[in-house]
């Protein structure tokens, strides 16, 4: 099945009508009609407007409006079902890389802490010698 825009353009050209003539009959700007024929529905105001434009366009051409709207619905559903663009798939890879980087930083921090604690721990030669070898306790007199 051909896209709705191609169908409308073909029907218009078969009837020998210009885009401006359809615009005069439907009171839809010719730029909007051109967008309909190109299938660029996302550039139009919104789905209710697109459906209204298609209905008016079909009436001006003498085509069944239900058929045109059914074709449009199918085309919109097909666009929704298409696979995600590659750009969106790359986002998950970036998240994975960021997660891996975070883990690497945590491991590095733990290793750096262990290395610093090993290097900065007191050694036997750094400990102060005891001031006296015997310990004397003096008890207060009662």
Domain C-terminal end among 58, 81, 104: 81
Tens digit of each residue's pLDDT (9 = 90 or more) over 54-96: 999 999 999 999 999 998 988 888 776 666 566 655 556 667 7
Has residue 134 been placed in a domain?
A: no
φ, ψ for residue 3, nearest 5 deg: -60, 155
Indicate whether 67 and 114 sit together in one domain.
no
pLDDT of residue 99: 84
Banded pLDDT at 27 (limits 50, 70, 90): very high
Q: Which residue has the tokens 């105001």?
A: 45
Nearest to 61 by CA among 72, 49, 70, 53: 53
Has residue 135 been placed in a domain?
A: no
pLDDT of residue 131: 52
The Cα–Cα gap between 102 and 141 comes to 65
Indicate whether 28 and 92 sit together in one domain.
no
Tens digit of each residue's pLDDT (9 = 90 or more) over 85-127: 666 555 566 677 788 888 999 999 999 999 988 888 766 666 6
Indicate whether 47 and 27 sit together in one domain.
yes
- What range defines the domain where residue 111 resides? 86-119
The separation between CA 85 and the C-alpha centre of its own chain, rounded to angstroms, equals 10
CATH number at 71 reads 1.10.260.40
- Higher pLDDT among residues 82 and 36, named by residue: 36
Indicate whether 20 and 73 sit together in one domain.
yes
How far is residue 92 from each of residues 64, 68, 97, 100, 140, measured CA to CA in Å?
A: 45, 39, 9, 12, 75
Indicate whether 56 and 71 sit together in one domain.
yes
Banded pLDDT at 40 (limits 50, 70, 90): confident
Indicate whether 96 and 30 sit together in one domain.
no
pLDDT of residue 20: 92
């Amino acid at each position: 099945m051909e896209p709705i825009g191609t169908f409308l353009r073909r029907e218009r050209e078969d009837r020998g009508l210009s885009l401006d003539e359809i615009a005069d009959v439907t009171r839809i700007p010719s730029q909007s009609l051109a967008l309909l024929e190109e299938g660029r529905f996302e550039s139009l105001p919104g789905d209710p407007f697109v459906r209204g434009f298609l209905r008016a366009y079909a009436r001006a051409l003498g085509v069944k409006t239900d058929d045109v709207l059914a074709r449009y619905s199918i085309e919109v559903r097909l666009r929704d079902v298409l696979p995600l663009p590659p750009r969106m798939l790359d986002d998950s890879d970036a998240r994975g890389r960021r997660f891996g980087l975070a883990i690497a930083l945590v491991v590095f921090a733990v290793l750096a802490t262990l290395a610093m604690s090993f290097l900065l721990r007191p050694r036997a030669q750094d400990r102060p010698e005891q001031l006296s070898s015997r310990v004397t306790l003096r008890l207060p007199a009662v």
